Structure 1
Amino acid sequence: MLTIRPARADELPALTAFPDDDERNAATAAYLAGLLESGCTRPEWCLAAERDGRLAGNVVLWTMPGRAVPMDIVLLEPGDPDTGAALLAYAADQARKWGAQTQGHVLDSPAQAPQFQRNPQLREDLLANAGFTVIRDGCRFRWTAGDPMPAQDERLNWRSLADLGATPFVELLADTFTDTEDSIFQAEIAEHGLRGAAERNIADMLEMDHQPGWYEIGYEPAGTPVAISMPARTPTSAVIGLVAVARIGRGRGYATSVVARGTRVLRDAGAAEIRGDCDADNTAMVKAFQRAGYRNFTNRKMFTRPL
């Protein structure tokens, strides 16, 4: 008989462990310990599937630090198809109980530490059967200390959030959304309009770990705002965060300039590794990361479902 319940204290942070896989077991346990410490998850959000007195799988819910409503599934060990389906159904019920209206999950290929999402076809089938749909088929990029520092764009004068306040960021981002190629932004614009989507994205970035001086707008010599750079930190990595180029600045390589600027800001703050994501079909951003010296280390599908 299969039982799904909150994990016991003695089962955290290891949860489901695999024989003869010490690397995976240690990395995943350390990752979950960090999520618990940072407030991205809670013990009651760590859900275990038990069969015949042994753990048969688990699912862990996630949110941004400081929020009380779980947003996504961050760790999923489905076991067999029946266990995986039961875990996803239980995760939906619990998230709904705690106030969530949607639920997301990401699937990386090839599998990466610390999640080690093996059996990708099983996982994708489970997600589809549980009502998830793909909202982004994307690429993930990485720069590490020791890689060449991307050249800075001397054409742009950067002014920070501390100097400008949030309104110019919202206004410029709304302008960039007019013809965005990013699938997630397109969905948000369809639901909230250009201004509303911009406000929501700037608000989300303000919740991320950052210094006010990190968030900047790049101005051309004539004083025209053309680019937004918003690098930040997650509990596990430094990230380029939000990159945007105004319509008037397109075709001049400013997306690469933003990636380079964010890289320098984060490197100067001590980051040893920096990551960035974009749609696989967003050719301009793919080229921007590549020209800034980033490597495509994995691909990521982002899923969501209504609750």
Structure 2
Amino acid sequence: MPFTPNDLTIRPITGPEELDLFRELPYVLDHELADDLAERRRRPEWMWIARRGDRVLARVAWWSRPGDLVPDRLDILDVLDGGDDARRGGAPGPDRLDVGELLLRTAMSAVLPAGSTPPEYGRFVAPDWRDTPASARTVQDRMAILRRTGAELFVERLRLEWRPGASPLPAPAGHLAFRPVDGTGELIDLMTSALTGTLDAHGRDDLTRMSARQAAVRHYEDELARFTSPRDWWCVATLPDKEPVGFVIPAHNGYNPVIAYIAVLPAHRGKGHIDALLAHGTRLLAEQDVPRVRAATDLGNVPMARAFRRAGYVEFGREITMTWS
């Protein structure tokens, strides 16, 4: 039987004036919510809460790139922690999962286009989230709610960061030359080639549904083309004979300086070129006097993770991604 308690109120927030209410359940991104609303990366009608009396028991929210009419990802899903439920008016025991499921299903039916596949879920978690019972239970509860609506784990990703002063600048490599990307066409050609043999879960999934070029075009249009940071930061690495061996896309994503994309072309892998590309991208951003450079890679992409660590990047978090089919 569906869980439909009569004393539960489920609704979107009315606007920025209810952000304090929405933030009763904490998350590391809470400090960004006001700016996200102002920049139209979020909308009040995409931010929902479940309340019993004056207590928020659960919340969900979607995010998009500025100006998009439909959400790009579900990135907030929280339920009142089980250890505090009974004391604070929350749903005791397993019922909190029922509250979360009911909220999510109700919000999805109102927010997402009818008949559409929901956008992916991505949640930042601590790097050691499995190591303590409380943190493991919190992450697993959220995943359980999502599974009830048909989502499955897609990939776990490492969140990495380089900070000036905390890590030395990676040394420049003398065996490669760097030049700006020669327009959109060249970049899409390079991205298409780089998808051969990729270890990236999103790239591999794209290749099950479309050609490598179609996947490259979509990635470019959905993400890279939207960056407002200078495109002359985007670089191709070449051998002395001008042959490209790879490329790196340093950028600012609206929140942080990032290594947005980095790849070695298939014919040149296994020769240490990734270290030179990463050093170049990191040094370019460091020259902008940034407080940090962030990056991410799949937990299973061991070669890329090792390259980031060699360059002085440290793991500061993980991201759990789940998808609906």
TM-score interval, smaller chain: 0.7 to 0.9
Instruction: Note closer, same or farther for the CA distance 1:13–1:232 as it changes in structure 2 (3 Å cut).
Output: farther
* Residue of 169, 172, 175 corresponding to 1:155: 175
- Cα distance in 1, alignment partners of residues 323 and 103 from structure 2: 16
- Cα distance in 2, alignment partners of residues 117 and 55 from structure 1: 22
**Alignment partner, residue 189 of structure 1:** 207
1:97 is aligned to 2:98: no
**Alignment partner, residue 11 of structure 1:** 18
Instruction: Note closer, same or farther for the CA distance 1:47–1:287 as it changes in structure 2 (3 Å cut).
Output: same
Aligned to 2:42, the other structure's residue is in SS state: coil
1:208 is aligned to 2:227: yes
- Cα distance in 1, alignment partners of residues 19 and 187 from structure 2: 41
- Cα distance in 2, alignment partners of residues 117 and 38 from structure 1: 33
* Residue of 104, 111, 117 corresponding to 1:88: 104
1:117 is displaced (CA, Å) by: 10
Q: Calculate percent identity across the aligned residue pairs.
A: 28
- Cα distance in 2, alignment partners of residues 289 and 238 from structure 1: 15
1:176 is aligned to 2:197: no
Structure 2 residue identity aligned to 1:69: V
Check conservation: 2:262, 2:277, Cα contact below 8 A: yes
Number of corresponding residues: 295
Correspondence 1:19-30 to 2 at 5 A:
24=26, 28-30=29-31
**Alignment partner, residue 243 of structure 2:** 224
- Cα distance in 2, alignment partners of residues 35 and 118 from structure 1: 29
1:187 is displaced (CA, Å) by: 0.5
- Segments of 4+ moved more than 4 angstroms: none
1:285 is displaced (CA, Å) by: 0.4
* Residue of 249, 261, 264 corresponding to 1:242: 261
- Cα distance in 1, alignment partners of residues 189 and 21 from structure 2: 45
Q: Deviations over 1:234-263 (max 9, x none)?
A: 232221111111012111212222222221
- Cα distance in 2, alignment partners of residues 104 and 91 from structure 1: 15
Check conservation: 1:16, 1:57, Cα contact below 8 A: no
Gap runs ≥5 in structure 2: 1-6, 81-95, 129-134
1:39 is displaced (CA, Å) by: 2.3
Instruction: Note closer, same or farther for the CA distance 1:208–1:102 as it changes in structure 2 (3 Å cut).
Output: farther
1:87 is displaced (CA, Å) by: 2.2
Gap runs ≥5 in structure 1: 19-23
Instruction: Note closer, same or farther for the CA distance 1:135–1:223 as it changes in structure 2 (3 Å cut).
Output: same
TM-score between both structures, scaled by the size of structure 1: 0.88
> RMSD of the TM alignment (CA)?
2.3
Structure 2 residue identity aligned to 1:175: S
- Cα distance in 2, alignment partners of residues 118 and 211 from structure 1: 42
Instruction: Note closer, same or farther for the CA distance 1:225–1:120 as it changes in structure 2 (3 Å cut).
Output: same
Check conservation: 1:63, 1:70, Cα contact below 8 A: yes
Check conservation: 1:111, 1:118, Cα contact below 8 A: no
Check conservation: 1:109, 1:298, Cα contact below 8 A: yes
Check conservation: 2:127, 2:318, Cα contact below 8 A: no
- Cα distance in 2, alignment partners of residues 117 and 207 from structure 1: 35
Aligned to 2:195, the other structure's residue is in SS state: helix
**Alignment partner, residue 21 of structure 1:** none
Q: Deviations over 1:65-116 (max 9, x none)?
A: 232210111222223212211222123223323896431122334279xxx9
**Alignment partner, residue 93 of structure 2:** none
